[in-house]
């Protein structure tokens, strides 16, 4: 049953947001295997578990869809209920990342579609597809596909721009989700707020370091 109250919708946003954070953490951990020349082995390990991979994909599709839907619903409700004087006061008190959650979310969503087309469905650049290139162990050469893609200036810039949007989105979203779940005590919340900002920036560095390292020639085989 879909939540009918604003509080219920915010709870769905908070829970789905935290589920996506868990995925983002797991995804960057998997991506980090590129530093140890283990990306192809990691990818091969995932493809050896197709049922698990597809279960995660379907679950993520539902989670992301719910998050986007209620983000739009809540934004429309807030705009309809907010008088102009309150709007001006709120903008003074709020942060840049908090005021632009809908836009950073849109950037992330656009990047997600592109990212799936490029590296999951491999239709953006078929000539660099991992399916058509095998490494020395006979595995799909995911490293080659990623390296060729992210060494292109335009794609690397879009990647960095998108992970910057993720940083801004999470720097507000993490603390907001904890607050919605009631973890906003006077003593604990300042630590959660600082911890959320730190975690968002750490994730940004982890994701952004890959195209930078490729461009600098640090990731070679």
In a domain, 1, yes or no: no
| 90 has pLDDT over 70 | no
Closest CA relative to residue 13, chosen from 174, 168, 188, 164? 174
List the CATH number of the domain containing 136.
1.20.1300
What does the pLDDT look like over 13-66, one tens digit per residue? 999 999 999 999 999 999 999 999 999 999 999 999 999 999 999 999 999 999
Quickly state the pLDDT bin for 78 (edges 50, 70, 90). Answer: confident
Task: Report residue 40 CA to chain centroid gap.
Answer: 22
* Residue 111 structure tokens: 């990047």
The CA-based angle 177-183-189, given to 5 degrees, is 95
The chain-wide mean pLDDT, for the chain, equals: 91
* Residue 34 structure tokens: 């590129």
In a domain, 74, yes or no: yes
Q: State how many domains the chain has.
A: 1
In a domain, 141, yes or no: yes
A 10 A CB-CB count for 101 gives 17
Q: Domain of residue 20: give its range.
A: 6-216
In a domain, 30, yes or no: yes
Query: What pLDDT sits at residue 2?
Result: 66
In a domain, 167, yes or no: yes
Q: Which is it for the CA torsion 115, 54, 58, 126, positive or negative? A: positive
Q: 80 or 62: which carries more pLDDT confidence?
A: 62
What does the pLDDT look like over 110-154, one tens digit per residue? 999 999 999 999 999 999 999 999 999 999 999 999 999 999 999
Query: What pLDDT sits at residue 1?
Result: 61
In a domain, 221, yes or no: no
* Residue 133 structure tokens: 């290139």
Instruction: Give the residues across from 140 on adjacent strands.
Output: 134
Closest CA relative to residue 163, chosen from 178, 150, 177, 145? 150
Quickly state the pLDDT bin for 187 (edges 50, 70, 90). Answer: confident
Query: What pLDDT sits at residue 190?
Result: 85
């Amino acid at each position: 049953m879909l939540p009918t109250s604003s509080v219920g919708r915010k709870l769905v946003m908070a829970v789905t947001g935290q589920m996506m954070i868990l995925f983002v953490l797991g995804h960057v951990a998997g991506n980090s295997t590129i530093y140890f020349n283990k990306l192809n082995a990691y990818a091969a390990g995932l493809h050896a578990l197709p049922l698990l991979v597809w279960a995660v994909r379907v679950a993520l599709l539902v989670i992301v869809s719910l998050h986007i839907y209620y983000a739009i619903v809540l934004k429309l409700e807030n705009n309809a209920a907010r008088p102009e004087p309150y709007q001006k006061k709120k903008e003074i008190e709020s942060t840049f990342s908090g005021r632009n959650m809908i836009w950073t979310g849109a950037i992330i969503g656009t990047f997600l579609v592109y990212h799936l087309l490029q590296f999951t469905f491999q239709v953006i650049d078929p000539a660099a597809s991992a399916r058509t290139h095998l490494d020395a162990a006979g595995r799909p050469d995911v490293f080659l596909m990623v390296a060729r893609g992210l060494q292109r200036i335009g794609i690397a810039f879009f990647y960095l721009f998108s992970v910057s949007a993720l940083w801004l989105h999470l720097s507000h979203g993490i603390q907001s989700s904890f607050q919605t779940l009631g973890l906003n005590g006077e003593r604990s919340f300042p630590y959660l707020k600082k911890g959320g900002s730190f975690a968002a920036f750490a994730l940004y560095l982890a994701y952004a370091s890959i195209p930078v390292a490729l461009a600098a020639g640090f990731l070679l085989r």
